[in-house]
Structure 1
Amino acid sequence: MIGKLKGLVDSFGDDHVLIDCGGVCYEAFCSSRTLAALPRVGEAGVVFIETIVREDMIRLYGFSSEAEKAWFNLLMTVQGVGARVALAILSVLSPSEISSAIALQDKAMIGRANGVGPKLAIRVVTELKGKVPAGGGIDAGTLGLQTALGEGNAAGNVADAVSALTNLGYSSAQASAALARIVAREGEEVATEKLIRLGLRELSN
């Protein structure tokens, strides 16, 4: 079983990279984020590998991190999500953004991926609710706040502060992550106005 490839980047395709490992080139299909993160042709690169074996093919999928690989596998547990759709989701959202979208039940974020319609987006956030793979790219405090927001039972001042920050143009994932850090430091009794002020400061850093 191949767990990771370390070698020279040989060439890129629209959806894959060739990694030269001691003269043997391996083709790994990747998200556009992973392809963009890889070094230029001729330079040393590393991709984490998931191998999928079917009757008619053996295909390698490459990832820039263990978190991306973990989400790829978890996404494919959803009915209707195959490797192509999982990579499409990972092309538009980072692991932490996927965690946020699911915790907040934000089907619109998932629906940004090519090939993901409204029904499939709902299925993804519904079936994966409460599930985060090991190393999924989000800390427990942030996930806890986002889950509370998604279930509508976050403290009113925190929910109002998240709403205010999203109205100012920040994503719900950014706002809830910033406020989770503030609540961890200051406690949950901070007034809404102060939470918003501290949130803006946190987001500007």
Structure 2
Amino acid sequence: MIGRLRGVLAEVDLDHCVIDCAGVGYMATCGSRTLSRLPAIGSEAILYVHSQWSAEQGPRLYGFLDRDERKAFNVLVTIQGVGPKAALSVLDVLPPAELAAAVAREDKAAVARANGVGPKLALRIVTELKGKPLTEGTFSPVAVGVHSEAVVSAPVPSIAGEAVAALLGLGIAEMNARRAVEQALSDKGEEAGLSAIIRAALQELGK
């Protein structure tokens, strides 16, 4: 099974890219958020890959820019009714840490923003993801004398993630929302607070 690709980015299309690894082009299906963050064509690219095989379609590769996205995808596709396309759609609107936060607060509406995910499926996703790790996690050593199981830190939603989610709720395209929030954070800094970042992002967008 292929777990990672490192090579030259040869092609980018609406739903996939091609990575040239030593003269062999590997086509990986990706979400729009991943595709929008790829380097320029001709540059080196690294994709973390989920490999899938079926009798009907043969081998399929799904590509992600980090291990956490691949981990969340792997968990999502184990849920009944969530195929690869729906899983990619969920990760397009909710990166892993934000998805974990939405699950923790039982925010079905946030999950239902994903293209092709209705209220019933969003409820199932939130219900079945409860208690499941959606990221690789950060492991810390435990003190002497404490039971030696790995301690995984829970993902905390960032101001950037919450601000982007708020703009998405206003119908703003994700790529535009992320760029506006990044500019707002650059201008004001995280200490300005969530509401100030959202206002600055809206001003950046001319709204």
Q: Residue 108 of structure 1 aligns with which residue?
A: 109
Pair 1:118 & 2:119 matched: yes
| Alpha-carbon distance, 1:142 to partner | 5.4
Q: Residue 135 of structure 1 aligns with which residue?
A: 136
Partner amino acid, structure 2, of 1:85: A
Partner amino acid, structure 1, of 2:38: L
Q: CA contact under 8 A between 1:89 and 1:114: conserved in structure 2? A: yes
| Alpha-carbon distance, 1:93 to partner | 1.4
Gapped runs of 5+ residues in structure 1? Answer: 147-164, 175-198
Alignment deviations for residues 125-176 of structure 1 (CA, whole Å, 9 cap, x no partner): 0111111134259x73556xx9xxxxxxxxxxxxxxxxxx9xxxx66x89xx
Partner amino acid, structure 1, of 2:153: A
TM-score scaled by structure 2?
A: 0.68
C-alpha separation in 2, matches of 1:24 and 1:61: 17
Query: For residues 59 and 141 of structure 1, do their structure 2 counterparts lie closer, same or farther at Cα, with a shift above 3 Å needed?
Result: closer
Q: CA contact under 8 A between 1:71 and 1:136: conserved in structure 2? A: no
Q: Residue 44 of structure 2 aligns with which residue?
A: 44
RMSD: 2.7
- What does 1:27-106 align with in structure 2 at a 5 Å threshold? 27-56=27-56, 57-106=58-107
| Alpha-carbon distance, 1:121 to partner | 0.4
C-alpha separation in 1, matches of 2:154 and 2:74: 24
Secondary structure at the aligned position of 1:124 is classed as helix
Secondary structure at the aligned position of 1:20 is classed as strand
| Alpha-carbon distance, 1:91 to partner | 1.2
Q: CA contact under 8 A between 2:137 and 2:153: conserved in structure 1? A: no
TM-score scaled by structure 1?
A: 0.68
Q: CA contact under 8 A between 1:7 and 1:21: conserved in structure 2? A: yes
C-alpha separation in 2, matches of 1:142 and 1:66: 14
C-alpha separation in 2, matches of 1:16 and 1:70: 19
Q: Number of matched residues?
A: 156
Q: CA contact under 8 A between 1:6 and 1:19: conserved in structure 2? A: yes
Secondary structure at the aligned position of 1:9 is classed as strand
Which structure has more helix as a fraction of its residues?
Answer: 1
Alignment deviations for residues 168-191 of structure 1 (CA, whole Å, 9 cap, x no partner): xx66x89xxxxxxxxxxxxxxxxx
Q: Residue 159 of structure 1 aligns with which residue?
A: none
C-alpha separation in 2, matches of 1:68 and 1:60: 14
Q: Residue 9 of structure 1 aligns with which residue?
A: 9
Q: Residue 188 of structure 1 aligns with which residue?
A: none
Q: CA contact under 8 A between 1:99 and 1:136: conserved in structure 2? A: no
Query: For residues 136 and 14 of structure 1, do their structure 2 counterparts lie closer, same or farther at Cα, with a shift above 3 Å needed?
Result: farther
Gapped runs of 5+ residues in structure 2? Answer: 139-151, 167-189, 198-207
Could you tell me the percent identity over the aligned residues? 45
Query: For residues 141 and 42 of structure 1, do their structure 2 counterparts lie closer, same or farther at Cα, with a shift above 3 Å needed?
Result: closer
C-alpha separation in 1, matches of 2:94 and 2:134: 16
C-alpha separation in 2, matches of 1:94 and 1:8: 25
